[in-house]
Structure 1
Amino acid sequence: MVELAAIAQTGLYYSADPFDRQRYAQVGEVAEQLRALVTAGPVPELGRLVDPEGGHATPKVDARGAVFDAEGRLLMTRERSDGLWTLPGGWCDVLEPPTTNVLREIREEGGVEARLLRVAAVLDREVRGHQPPLPVHVYKLFFVCEEVSRGGALDAKEILEVGWFDPDDLPPLSTARILPDEIAICVAAWRDPSLPTVVD
């Protein structure tokens, strides 16, 4: 369904031939009809499933920070939306580099100033098997960071609490956002900086 929407959107962006544009528009309508079949409740606006701005359809980017303190504990935040735990982070903002984005998210969601050390992984949400599936394709960037200071104000709209955890004894995870194997990749990269970046 998402792939059909992406094909339609990209085709409409690049094609000048009126017959091709008509076919791509039909593909987009089929994607909308399929989405309607699997959507519970009122059907939202289904056009432009992949990129609301149109153009060539591209994935969204989610950046997460694995912040470690001097004792090797991992910073985690408990999400208000599901009451479960994740690494601080979220969607990258337009006109903001991913490194700036992740450090800002760590500050806002975790109340921590951090120093970026390295990229641990560039992963594909679909390949990794996150549930539930999203109506967009997502790349997930994981940065290993170290704590500089803590005690800043938290974004109470999104975050219930913050904690520091032994990587071998983690709280219940918000698996829509983070999976145990993704944390394991970050922990391994923290413990051994010579490891290569993991890329799907």
Structure 2
Amino acid sequence: MSDKWLEWAKRIQALSQSGLSFSKDVYDRERYEELRSISTEIMQEYTGLEMKKIKDLFANEEGYQTPKVDVRGVVFKDNRILMVKEKIDDKWSLPGGFCDIGLSPGENIVKEIKEEAGYDATPVKLLALLDLNKHAHPPQPYHYYKILIQCRVTGGEGKSGVETKGIGFFEEDHLPELSVGRNTESQIKMLFEFLRDPRKETVFD
């Protein structure tokens, strides 16, 4: 659901990065470098960002490009859902973030909930695996998959972390202002369907 120009830029970037990773021919590599430059120029033209920032963010990776994985924890208490207030935009999201190398999705979300909300937690169920391109998020420079895992609090106490400035539990019909790059209202409402029906099947795409 991203803007078409961004989809094209990301595809050109992915193809050029893969070509640079596997091609040994010097002339092919020059062509792939040119494609990568075109992708950053497209980003600069439509975003107004400095070229250096775009290159740092968008065109400095190596190896075959794959979607980035974002994992989010879903914790219910008294028919309310746990959310944290992000320092980066003063808006609210489910606790979570990028999956770290060396940790499973379950291990990642346990770490994220502890760091961002102060609670000890145990993963219970995979609720959804979403392709952000198919949901109403703002345009993103990368292709993301989002993993939503229901967790049970086992200890700890609610407190903010380095990247958060508030925590709270919210009712479905009284959600705070959401950080829509991380989660949308429709996604949060979908999660409440699992609260009402624990037998609901995992959602994907």
Same fold (TM over 0.5): yes
SS in 1 for 2:85: strand
CA contact 2:86–2:163 (8 Å) conserved in 1: yes
Alignment correspondent of 1:2: 10
Letter in 1 for 2:114: R
Which residue number in structure 1 is paired with residue 31 of structure 2? 23
- Residue 146 of structure 1, aligned match among 152, 177, 198: 152
Q: Greater share of helix residues, 1 or 2? A: 2
**Structure 1 unaligned residues grouped into runs of 5+:** none
CA RMSD of aligned residues (A): 2.0
Indicate if the aligned counterparts of 2:21 and 2:64 stay in contact, CA closer than 8 A. yes
TM-score (norm 1): 0.89
The offset of 1:106, in angstroms, is 0.7
Where 1:105 maps in the other structure, the secondary structure is: helix
Out of 93, 99, 102, the residue aligned to residue 95 of structure 1 is: 102
Q: Does 1:178 align with 2:183?
A: yes
- Label 1:136 to 1:41 Cα distance change in 2 as closer, same or farther (>3 A): closer
Contact kept? 1:50, 1:59, Cα under 8 Å:
no
| Distance change >3 Å, CA 153–CA 170, structure 1 → 2 | closer
Do residues 36 (structure 1) and 44 (structure 2) align?
A: yes
* Structure 1 position 145, deviation (Å): 1.4
The unaligned stretches of length 5 or more in structure 2 are 1-8
TM-score (norm 2): 0.87
CA change 1:21–1:102 in 2 (3 A) is same
Which position in structure 1 is the counterpart of 2:173? 168
Q: Deviations over 1:130-168 (max 9, x none)?
A: 11x22111111101112223415431x321111111223
SS at structure 1 position matched to 2:188: helix
Matched, 1:190 2:198: no
Q: Number of aligned pairs?
A: 197
* CA deviation vs aligned residue, 1:26-70 (integer Å, no higher than 9, x gap): 21121122222224253225447657440101111110011012x
Distance (whole Å) between structure 1 residues aligned to residue 59 and residue 106 of structure 2: 23
